[in-house]
Amino acid sequence: MFDSLHPLITMISLAIFGVALLGVLVKKNLFKIFLAFSVAESALFLFFIGNHYTPGLKAPIAADGITRFDPAFMVDPLPQAMILTTIVIGIAVSALGLSMVIRYYKLTGHMRIDKMDELGEEQ
């Protein structure tokens, strides 16, 4: 059963990634575009963490009897640390992006990417 786990996780996460990328390309609302980016990022997290998960091994946390780094009993801790870092960065970027969308909306009255023409004839 577990032999098919990693390919299944890969297929599901890459399908979500593809749908989210499609969302980025076809959606016109800036809020939805940033939301699609978050979904795409989460799909990558699922892909990476899922592929490093091995049934039967413990989480790499200094508890539940784990006292030292031993790959025979726990999953690789590096992907988890990487994803935690990436989540923090992703939240920061999303927060900055959405705050800019709000400011842009207050100044222009819309948040549609196809109506962004503030450079006008200056181009």
- Interface contacts to another protein, rule CB under 8 A: 21, 24, 30, 33-34, 37, 40-41, 44, 47-48, 51-52, 78-79, 82, 85-86, 89, 92-93, 96-97, 100-101, 103-104, 107-108, 113, 116, 118-119, 122-123
Cβ proximity to another protein, 66 vs 97, nearer residue: 97
Closest CA to 24 of 14, 15, 36: 36
Q: Which residue has the tokens 């996780």?
A: 9
Closest CA to 21 of 4, 45, 1, 37: 37
Q: Work out how close the CB of 83 gets to another protein at its nearest, in angstroms, rounded to a whole number.
A: 9
Are 56 and 65 a contacting pair, CB within 8 Å? no
Contacts of 51 (CB under 8 A, 6+ apart): 6, 9, 10
Q: Work out how close the CB of 104 gets to another protein at its nearest, in angstroms, rounded to a whole number.
A: 4
Q: Work out how close the CB of 64 gets to another protein at its nearest, in angstroms, rounded to a whole number.
A: 22
